[in-house]
Amino acid sequence: METEMNLQPQPHVLLFPFPVQGHIKPMLTLAQLLCHSGIHVTFVNTEHNHLLLTQREALSARFPTLHFHSISDGLPSDHPRSLNPYFIDIVTSLRSKTGPLLHQLLVSLTSKTDVDSAADQLPPLSCVITDGLMCFAIDAADKVGIQVIAVRTSSACSVWCYLCVPKLIEEGQAPFGDEESDKMVLGVPGMEYILRRRDLPSICRAPTNHTVRQFFVEEHIAITRASGLILNTFDELESSVLSHIASKFPKIYAIGPLHALLQSRVGDDDLSSSSAAAASLRREDRRCMMWLDSQEAGSVIFVSYGSLVKLTRVQLLEFWHGLVNSGSPFLWVIRSDVLHSTEVEHANRVTPVELEMGTKERGFIVDWAPQEEVLAHEAVGGFLTHSGWNSTLQAIWAGVPMLCWPQLADQQVNSRWVGEVWKIGVDMKDTCDRATVETMIKALMHGEEREVISRAVDQYAKSARTSVGEAGSSYHNLETLISDLRTLVI
């Protein structure tokens, strides 16, 4: 079969992620899956992130059909490129300046004019797989006559909510004030009596005509022009929601958890962790793994807010007090940029003695951790998370109960599903005080509900493992995607 594959002309696909860690990582995993099947992939990062992705050569050596290319994001070199508070700066520049550059690149790759020395070895481009927040790529691809498949790196349940936001706005259910937060949402088919308004994507809290909300609405209207949609989820987890989304797209490919599917397809026990490290834009502090080795099984609460969430110093201290007072050992990721810019000058204030002492006794703090490995470690018994989708899927795969503190975008929806639908954790949405943090950590780690939650997350972990096996839904859906890509060979 491999000989036949080598004799046939192979597809050449361009992958174009939104320029942040949480989007680049799953799309780079997808790139490796496609390359493992013999497909040529040109992975296009912004120049800024291209330089941060330091293990490009190692990945290309492992997957010879993986080719990296960079493109300007149109921003000055000294721009901080932080989504908070520069989101609109970034997406405006991407649309106006990166869009035309992408079109030029597509022209070069489809016509086989020289883009770089490696381009001579590539077949003509046959498809663009773009991040669903970069839908200007659909226009660029239309101009050169090639198909586009979109990727949303968030959950299916949040994607469906985003697709329904225009209807919610029309019906007056968004935006909403604090006094309306607990009203049930009736305008998202299939989610009746599940969603409260506070559980909607965070853009639904933004005032009328807010530019960020307008951007997300525009992108989720534009995304339906794609010829298909790839989602990092699996049928058994979100089947009912996937059936609703299927009404908007010609084809849906649910192929998650991507990190687990890659390991299953390639069959290398070390691949998952090495690929995760290779896709990271931050340096991991692996000392935490030695610390975990010294802890009792199931005793540690792992805390991480992902790569984007910002905290005030007051919030940081409330979490700190709650963690120390809970009595559980804790591994805490505190990024160097976790504080809001207005709070940085207060960061060096004296830390209360009880927090210093409690951390020395039971805690370990790092700037960034190898999260997939941490969650898989037997010492970890709970995960205090921002409910980003990558983190949520990794916790499900590892069978780790979650305590959810969502802040941005899809995180509000994810946390509701974790607590109310899948019942694999508890939702601490819109709350951040030391007493609540302490109480919820104790409940998650030692409370009466822990056994019920643990059984539920174990069941979903088993379903996830089945989905990426040879007879599984995600494995089959990836085969379908690969087959469809082969039909597009120019």
The pTM assigned to this predicted structure is 0.90
Residue 348 has a pLDDT of 56
Annotated catalytic residues are 23, 131
Name the band, by pLDDT with cuts 50, 70 and 90, for residue 384: very high
Q: Which of 117-126, 262-271, 328-337 has the lowest mean pLDDT?
A: 117-126
Alpha-carbon torsion angle 100, 35, 149, 18, nearest 10 = -50
- The answer for residues whose C-beta is within 8 angstroms of residue 411's C-beta and 6 or more apart is 202, 386, 387, 388, 404
Inter-CA distances, 298 with 353, 406, 426, Å:
28, 24, 17
- Percent of the chain exceeding pLDDT 70 equals 91
Nearest to 134 by CA among 33, 20, 254: 20
Whether the CA torsion 281, 67, 117, 93 is positive or negative: it is: negative
With contact defined as beta carbons under 8 Å apart, do 489 and 11 qualify?
yes
Q: Which of 210-214, 276-280, 421-425, 437-441 has the lowest mean pLDDT?
A: 276-280
Give the distance from CA 279 to its chain's centroid: 12
Name the band, by pLDDT with cuts 50, 70 and 90, for residue 4: very low
User: Quick one: tokens of 207?
Assistant: 């005032």
| CB neighbours of residue 136 within 10 Å | 21
Q: CA 308 to CA 281: how far, in whole Å? A: 12
Which domains does the chain show, CATH number per domain?
2-158+203-278+467-486 (3.40.50.2000), 287-465 (3.40.50.2000)
> pLDDT tens for residues 198-220?
999 988 888 878 898 889 989 99
With contact defined as beta carbons under 8 Å apart, do 203 and 165 qualify?
yes
| CB neighbours of residue 139 within 10 Å | 15
Q: Count of alpha carbons within 13 Å of 1, Cβ hemisphere only?
A: 2
Q: CA 313 to CA 338: how far, in whole Å? A: 10
* Edge-to-edge strand list for the sheet holding 12-16: 66-71, 40-46, 12-16, 127-131, 147-152, 228-231, 252-254
Please determine, for residue 412, whether its predicted confidence score (pLDDT) is greater than 90. Answer: yes
Q: CA 363 to CA 357: how far, in whole Å? A: 9
Q: Which of 35-39, 77-81, 110-114, 247-251 has the lowest mean pLDDT?
A: 110-114
Q: What is the C-alpha R_g of the chain?
A: 22
Residue 126 has a pLDDT of 92
Residue 280 has a pLDDT of 65
> pLDDT tens for residues 43-84?
999 988 888 877 888 888 899 999 999 999 889 988 888 777
Name the band, by pLDDT with cuts 50, 70 and 90, for residue 169: confident
Q: CA 165 to CA 176: how far, in whole Å? A: 13
Residue 438 has a pLDDT of 94
Q: CA 72 to CA 114: how far, in whole Å? A: 18
> pLDDT tens for residues 87-105?
899 999 999 999 999 999 9
Whether the CA torsion 365, 368, 369, 372 is positive or negative: it is: positive
Residue 3 has a pLDDT of 44
**Mean pLDDT, rounded, of the chain:** 88
Residue 1 has a pLDDT of 42
Q: CA 327 to CA 91: how far, in whole Å? A: 43
Identify which has the larger pLDDT, 281 or 462: 462
366 φ, ψ to 5°? -130, 160
Residue 256 has a pLDDT of 93
Residue 245 has a pLDDT of 96
With contact defined as beta carbons under 8 Å apart, do 29 and 372 qualify?
no
Residue 313 has a pLDDT of 87
> pLDDT tens for residues 126-168?
999 999 999 999 999 999 999 999 999 999 999 999 999 999 8
Name the band, by pLDDT with cuts 50, 70 and 90, for residue 279: low
Name the band, by pLDDT with cuts 50, 70 and 90, for residue 285: confident
User: Quick one: tokens of 469?
Assistant: 């096996």
Regarding beta strands 252-254 and 228-231, do their DSSP bridges make them parallel or antiparallel, or are they unpaired? parallel
Q: Which contiguous run of DSSP H or E holds residue 386? A: none
Length of the chain: 490
Residue 278 has a pLDDT of 56
Please determine, for residue 488, whether its predicted confidence score (pLDDT) is greater than 90. Answer: no
Average pLDDT over every residue of 467-482: 96
Residue 114 has a pLDDT of 47
Amino acid symbol at 27: M
- The answer for residues whose C-beta is within 8 angstroms of residue 323's C-beta and 6 or more apart is 301, 303, 330, 332, 358, 363, 437, 438, 441
Amino acid symbol at 99: G
User: Quick one: tokens of 405?
Assistant: 């503190």
